[in-house]
Amino acid sequence: MPFQHICITGGLGFIGSHLVRLALTRWPGVRVTNLDLITYAGNEANLADCCGRPEYRFVRGDVRKPADALAALDGCDAVIHLAAESHVDRSILASDDFMTTNILGTHVMLEAARKVGVRRFLYVSTDEVYGSLPEPLAADEQYPLRPRSPYAASKTAADLLVQTYVTTHDFPALITRSSNNFGPYQYPEKLIPLFVTNLLEGRKVPLYGDGLNVRDWIYVTDHCEALAVVLERGRVGEVYNLGGGRGRTNREICDRLLAGLGKGESSIEYVADRPGHDRRYALNCDKIGRELGWQPTHSFEQALTATIEWYRTRRDWWEPIKSGAYKAYYEQQYGSRAKRSS
Ligand code: NAD
Ligand code: TYD
């Protein structure tokens, strides 16, 4: 491993917590600093097992604040920047934090990283930058960027900003664009954990529109392995797509979850569609396979079964989340939607 001390931002979130855990095991002796604000999506319980490790340091701070960024980057020679507002539906309800954290926060991290002189800066982008693709297209890294939600636009703005730092400042940045992740510790606002936990509670699952929107799903630890490989061996200035390999409709995901939890079709509630709902995401991931030899190692079916099992046995993790402010969010997001569909 060519780095001594990595700063991971957003390390108390879903993907970030898996990445911190992976970094501590994959790179023995390497120090890991986690910069996280602990928003509604950040959760110290996600990394309870790493807390006392001498190589691990947690800094509670805001990527929008230069002083916090510099404090976290003290002594670091690499950055993996994940901290973001990450949920499309929330960006439709209110997008201020998406703009400040995702765009300005990335700018602050870039500036702080330049000051400190890090040797690698990996920006974790998303396939949503390509927008909705018609069959049979799959976006490679040259495909035009056509974001269609406030979330996607904020990620695209930051993605482009990172690219300008490479060309303008000769800054050693790289970018990954991943498809939809799933796995343990995912906040129950995204499709899979929301549906699994609703079904475990004996509630219905709100399927948007006709349920035929297509997403490519990747197991979270496969994504984290890819981030590690790109940090270790990726070419500076390059973008790497990464995904699970094929698209599935939301209805297919829903049917698998229903089967996995012994529920029937009556548990589905078709609700009003998401405004501007992207119909289909599809990625061409040949480049990362060809150049870096990465490919996902988990089968979708086995990973989904393991994920269902994790939520079944970890009520202690998600039940406290699905109370309080979450209830208000759920009502705001789904209350009128369900009524409109009937
Ligand atoms: P998440 O919402 O689970 O976690 C985000 C983390 O960032 C939280 O711990 C939160 O506290 C922290 N954070 C938010 N605002 C912050 C701020 N201003 N300062 C410091 N920390 C802050 O997100 P996730 O699903 O783990 O996604 C992580 C990254 O990966 C994001 O950049 C997201 O755009 C990207 N991504 C996610 C997916 C996916 O399917 N989840 C797919 C592709 C790319
Ligand atoms: P989501 O997990 O929010 O990820 P993204 O919007 O970033 O792809 O949604 C995945 C798909 O599931 C998307 O097509 C929207 C759909 N969806 C529902 O049908 N119902 C829901 O309650 C949610 C949260 C998502």
- Rg over alpha carbons for the chain, rounded to the nearest Å, is 19
With respect to residue 162, please indicate whether it lies within any of the assigned structural domains.
Answer: yes
Report the nearest atom of ligand 2 relative to the CA of 191: 2
What range does the domain containing 123 cover?
5-181+220-242
pLDDT in the model for residue 274: 97
**Ligand 1 neighbour 69 (Cβ under 6 A):** no
The answer to whether the CB of 268 is under 6 A from ligand 2 is: no
The best mutation among 17, 21, 73, 82 to test binding of ligand 1, ranked by most ligand atoms within 8 Å of the C-beta, falls on 82
In this structure, is residue 138 part of a structural domain?
Answer: yes
The answer to whether residue 253 sits within a structural domain is: no
Name the closest-CA residue to atom 42, ligand 1. Answer: 180
Domain tally for the chain?
1
The residue contributing the CA closest to ligand 1 atom 4 is 13
Residue 80 lies in a domain: yes
Q: Pick from 69, 36, 34, 39: which is nearest to 51 by CA?
A: 34
In ligand 1, the atom with minimum distance to the C-alpha of 128 is 43
Residue 107 sits in a domain whose CATH number is 3.40.50.720
Domain presence at residue 88:
yes
Test site for ligand 1: of 86, 88, 194, most ligand atoms within 8 A of the Cβ: 86
pLDDT of residue 341: 46
CB 253 within 8 A of CB 191: yes
The answer to whether residue 57 is domain-embedded is yes
Print pLDDT tens along the chain (342 aa). Answer: 789 999 999 999 999 999 999 999 999 999 999 999 999 999 999 999 998 999 999 999 999 999 999 999 999 999 999 999 999 999 999 999 999 999 999 999 999 999 999 999 999 999 999 999 999 999 999 999 999 999 999 999 999 999 999 999 999 999 999 999 999 999 999 999 999 999 999 999 999 999 999 999 999 999 999 999 999 999 999 999 999 999 999 999 999 999 999 999 999 999 999 999 999 999 999 999 999 999 999 999 999 999 999 999 999 999 999 998 999 999 999 998 875 544
- pLDDT for position 40: 98
Q: Hey, CA dihedral for 126, 129, 133, 137, is it positive or negative?
A: negative
Structure tokens at 122: 């990996």
Tokens of 314: 């970890």
What does the alpha-carbon distance between residue 155 and residue 128 come to, in Å, rounded to a whole number?
8
Count other Cβ atoms within 10 Å, centred on residue 185.
Answer: 23
- Residues with catalytic roles: 127-128, 151
Q: Which ligand has the nearest atom to the CA of 178?
A: 1
Among residues 159, 207, 184, the alpha carbon closest in space to that of 316 is found at 184
Residue of minimum CA distance from atom 13 in ligand 1 = 83
Instruction: Determine, yes or no, domain membership for 197.
Output: no
CA distance 120 to 242: 19
pLDDT at 308: 98
| Chain segment 2-12, per-residue pLDDT in tens | 899 999 999 99
The pLDDT of residue 339 is: 56
Ligand 2 center to 190 CA (angstroms): 6
Question: Which atom belonging to ligand 1 lies closest to the Cα atom of 46?
Answer: 9
Domain assignment present for residue 156? The answer is: yes
